[in-house]
Each structure stands twice: as structure tokens, then as C-alpha cells.
Structure 1
């Protein structure tokens, strides 16, 4: 949120204010937390410009809010992988825009985990960062670099990361009419399992990611 607020020229709550708001929201909605293993209480922080204005000018005031919603597991067991399409003509995010403050795709050939650099079009997501650190702990060579579309022919596995989904494996990518399929899911399953085990306190959190409420 701090990165996004700075990019959009908005004031941002402090870390302490942010954590306190998240804790209060979680405690106020604890009765809605799904049973263990059945889902999660999804928490979404939001910073918006508000006030009596409609026009091309900064908002006179800003509102920081946090809301929560009980959700089931993002993907039900047995759900097929994502099928992606490479779009060349229309761009969701451009360099110098706000794409970097808005899912990250990661590639795993052999024992190497490659992820695109965050050069303004890729979000520096917390899940992306966590998966990179977990992969490093598990012995993978983790690299951030520019990835060419042509490389997709030579990778074993592709997956995306996100706060809600955690990790979503990619079953295919279509580029210029050619469909490249990926059958492997071992790496994404291993990384996802480790992330969930840390989140649920099953294994030790060595990086102080968990905040007790």
C-alpha cells in the first residue's frame, strides 16, 4: 500500500496504523472465520480519495478502510489449471504506468525459479516475495530477470501468485496461435504447501511473517 500510495500521490497510513486496523477488523469478524481447512477470512485494505469533488484534481481527503469476507478455498480440489493467452496488441499495464502497483507469473525449469523483474508492469506482491524466499530455502536457484516469450517452450512448469489464490498452476499458454501445454505441478504444489504450513503455524515461521492477534 505504501508503494501504491506514493505512486498515486496519496497519503498513506503508517505501518502501526495499518496493522492495528487489520487486527481490529479480524477480531471484529472472528465469528465469520471458516472452520479449519475450509477457507479463510479474506482481509482487504483499501485507500481511496474521498470528499465532495468531481473533477481533475486531488481529493480533498482520503479514507483508509479494511473490510473482511469469509471465503472458501480459491480453487476446489481437482480444478484444472489456468489457460493463459499472450496479448500483443492491447496492454493492461505499460512502463511508467500503475501496473506495478496493481499476478506474477513464475517459471520453473529444472531447479531454477525465474520471475519477471518488477520494472513497473509487474506487481511487487507479498505472495510473490514470500514464494521466492521459500523457494530459496528449499534449494531452488531464484532469479529475477526479463523473460522472453520464446522461453516458454523450454520450461517445465509455470504458475502465478496472488494474495487470494496463493499459487495457481498454469496448464497452457497460447502465443501467436500456438498452444504450449504444461503438465508438471510438482514445484507449485511444493511451494504452495510450504506457504500454507507457515501461514497455519504447522511449521516454524523463521521470517516473522505471522502476526498474532
Structure 2
């Protein structure tokens, strides 16, 4: 077991109303922090009151963007038990991302023990109402102070927690998506497959412009502005009459944990799920011919987000008449039922709070 020193806050916050949570607006009383240095290894693992982090102004995270994070959730089930959804998946992805970003990834025991103990300390923050959860944000940053383009020799790993409700203001209603043809989120050989802060920085401009036009998210295309990659904060699925398609993981698409779970659930149902390249032209043609029945995004934040409208080259295309599709409803109900304990966990996705 990892030795973690705990210092409890003397001024605990009042809990926010569960029906006013939104997403990422509140933070719990404590955070977990651990440090790594070359030649020293991991040290100084602590749970501390939530507070600013002292940082050298020359830290590589500021100058060279060495930062990546994970997104996961803890749930309070109907019997009161607290569980995590697929934390090992998130650790594995952090390890892979850290290698690409030249940062030191925390070992599994540090990752899991830090998360477990922090959530236990702040357990009162976990909401129990439907469609709520405790969002968990494990983060890695380069902290060595220097100027010169090379990897940091020091890494900080920290975890913060936030009680959350629906990600979108629309709740579970179908969202409107803008197809982006000017900006790129990622390119082959880049950071697209890594949950790096830089990916989100590069997406902000297009997302801001799309929201000004009344769209909730951006549909990102590849460098040829044809191949579909992902939707802002989500992976994406298209339900045709004869197959269900999600873009194949090509090195510039994030391997989402919810995406992975949905692919497995669709396979369990013997449905024709295919991971392959799909173009925006194919999607529009499918809509014109009446062969594209529905579309939805998948992600930790929103779980399943039905897409009701897609804008492409000056035209808004309704998908399923702007209504939530049957498969979207079914998959959302199944994932959330597993998370809440109403359905059995046949794939060992649930980890209990120890």
C-alpha cells in the first residue's frame, strides 16, 4: 500500500444543491498530490486541502505544454455503495499518453490508492440523484523549472474531484453539431490519441465559434477534411440501416473508455458494429438516402449524447427528425444501469471504493 500523508481541511465547504451542479463548477475539499524526480522516484504523496499549487515560473508545463489528464467518475449506487467505472482503463491510457508526452506516469498502485483515499476523504461530496456523479480528474504535468526544449526531469501527479450533473445544458436532449472545415484538432503523428491539454487548447477557437452560431460541439475531420474523427469532447457513432460505424483508432483519435465500453456492449448484442474510416460525404449521403438512422457521441462526461442536427457546408441536416434514437436510449440506459448497480457488471468494469 502506498504511504499517503493526509491533512484535512479545517474549513469544509457547503455542498452545492444536486440540481444545480452542471459540469465542473464545484470542487471538493481536498486534492491528492504526488511528485517524481529523476534519480529519486515518486515521493511526497499527500492528500491536502484543495488549494493553489506552488509552481516554478519556468516549469515546462507553462513553456512547453507538458500536460495531460484523465476523466473518470465515481457513482453512489442505489444501496449506498460507492464505485468507480473502469479506472484501470484510465490508468493504462495515462501511461500511454505519458510516454508520448515524455512525462513519468504514476504506477498503478499510486494511481489507484491516491484515487481511493481521496474519494474516501471526500465521500460526502458524491451525489446520489439520477444523472449525477463525482467526476475525477487525474492530471500529470512537467514541473521542472528550465528554459530549453527538452522533457522535464520532474513530474507532478495530482487528482481533483468535482460533483457533476449533465454535461450539456440540454441535458440528455439531442445536440446540434457543427462540422469544422477550417481548423484541425489533430494530425497523423501528433497528439490526437493522447488526452493532452494541447489538444483541447487547439480546439477552443472552433468550439467557441460553433457555440456562437448555436451549436453545442464541433465535428472534427481529418487533414483532408473528409474523414470523421471525433466530436469535441466525445467519440462518435453513426447508426446506418445495415451497420453501426465508429471511426477506427488511427493515431489521431482518442481511445475513449466509454467508446470502448459501447463497442463491447454492441458486440454483446450481436449488432453489426464496425470500426473503420468514415467520411462526412458518406454521412451526408446516408442522410439523403434515408439510410442513416441516428448518431450519438460517447464520453465520460455525457455518457451518451444523441446528435439531432448536423451542420455541413451551409445546411443543417436533421438526424432522426432531431429526436433521440432507440439505440442511443438503449445504450445510455445500459451503461448507466451498470454504473448504478441496477444491471450486473459482466465485464468487470466496476471497482468498489475500498
Same fold (TM over 0.5): yes
108-117 vs 163-172, which deviates more? 108-117
Matched, 1:117 2:117: no
Q: Normalized against structure 2, the TM-score is what?
A: 0.57
Rg bigger for which structure?
2
CA contact (8 A) 1:105 1:160 kept: yes
Pick aligned residue for 2:130 from 2, 21, 37: 37
Pick aligned residue for 2:276 from 137, 142, 145: 145
The Cα shift of 1:87 comes to 1.7
Work out the CA distance in 1 between the residues paired with 2:267 and 2:173: 27
Matched, 1:72 2:165: yes
Work out the CA distance in 1 between the residues paired with 2:250 and 2:331: 24
CA distances 1:121-142 after superposition (whole Å, capped 9, x unpaired): 2110111101111111123111
The Cα shift of 1:38 comes to 5.4
Work out the CA distance in 2 between the residues paired with 1:165 and 1:16: 28
CA contact (8 A) 1:100 1:120 kept: yes
Pick aligned residue for 2:260 from 98, 106, 129: 129
Work out the CA distance in 1 between the residues paired with 2:153 and 2:171: 49
Could you say which residue in structure 2 is the equivalent of 1:158? 295
Distance 1:13-1:111 versus aligned 2 partners, 3 A rule: farther
What is the CA RMSD across the aligned residues, in angstroms? 1.8
Work out the CA distance in 2 between the residues paired with 1:35 and 1:204: 19
Could you say which residue in structure 2 is the equivalent of 1:60? 153
Pick aligned residue for 1:173 from 291, 304, 310: 310
Distance 1:74-1:85 versus aligned 2 partners, 3 A rule: closer
Structure 2, unmatched stretches of 5+, are: 1-93, 196-233, 287-291
CA contact (8 A) 1:53 1:60 kept: no
The Cα shift of 1:58 comes to 1.6
**Partner SS, residue 336 of structure 2:** helix
Work out the CA distance in 2 between the residues paired with 1:75 and 1:128: 18
Pick aligned residue for 2:333 from 193, 207, 210: 193
Could you say which residue in structure 1 is the equivalent of 2:351? 211
**Partner SS, residue 141 of structure 2:** strand
Structure 1, unmatched stretches of 5+, are: none
